[in-house]
């Protein structure tokens, strides 16, 4: 009985390992937001097969509470954007120098095989990005603009 229980627990943990999803709070007029969103949409969604991205426009009044909640969760005192929430990790602002940290946050719960697949995808993209992106065009569906939560 104990062996069966441990085996089932092991399957649960191994089977459940996925890339940490990303929620990005952004403003359409923010240049740093554009750079962050571009990196995610042109690179990360192709490297990580199971990555899901939710984009939330903070200029929409109906999204403000979600943004305030994220700032509180992340311990940020100011509401600058972009704010990226990846699993339990938060990032405010964006610079290309953050790309390694973003990948690390995404990979926190990945198996060795999933990390290897992501590295292989990255290597293939470095060889011929246009061909890789074209062959995986369905990955654009990984990004979803979150609909505002309307108050009654």
pLDDT in tens, 119-136: 999 999 999 999 999 999
Domains of the chain: 19-145 (3.40.30.10)
Task: Determine the Cα angle at 79 with ends 96 and 27, to 5°.
Answer: 65
Q: How would you list the strands of the sheet with 53-57, edge to edge? A: 89-92, 83-86, 22-26, 53-57, 143-145
pLDDT tens digit sequence for 39-83: 999 999 999 999 999 999 999 999 999 999 999 999 999 889 999
**Measured between alpha carbons, how far is 108 from 106 in angstroms, rounded to an integer?**
6
User: Are 82 and 71 contacting, i.e. CB atoms less than 8 angstroms apart?
Assistant: no
User: Are 64 and 96 contacting, i.e. CB atoms less than 8 angstroms apart?
Assistant: no
Question: How would you classify the pairing of strands 53-57 and 143-145?
Answer: parallel
């Amino acid at each position: 009985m104990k062996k069966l229980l441990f085996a089932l627990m092991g399957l649960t943990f191994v089977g459940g390992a996925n890339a940490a999803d990303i929620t990005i709070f952004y403003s359409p007029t923010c240049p740093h937001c554009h750079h962050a969103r571009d990196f995610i949409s042109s690179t990360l969604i192709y490297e990580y097969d199971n990555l899901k991205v939710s984009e939330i426009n903070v200029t929409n009044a109906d999204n403000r509470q979600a943004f305030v909640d994220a700032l509180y969760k992340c311990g940020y005192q100011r509401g600058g954007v972009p704010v990226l929430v990846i699993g339990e990790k938060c990032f405010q602002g964006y610079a290309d120098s953050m790309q390694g940290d973003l990948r690390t946050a995404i990979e926190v719960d990945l198996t060795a095989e999933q990390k290897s697949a992501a590295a292989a995808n990255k290597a293939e993209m470095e060889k011929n990005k246009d061909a890789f992106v074209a062959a995986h065009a369905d990955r654009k569906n990984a990004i979803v603009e979150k609909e505002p939560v309307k108050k009654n």
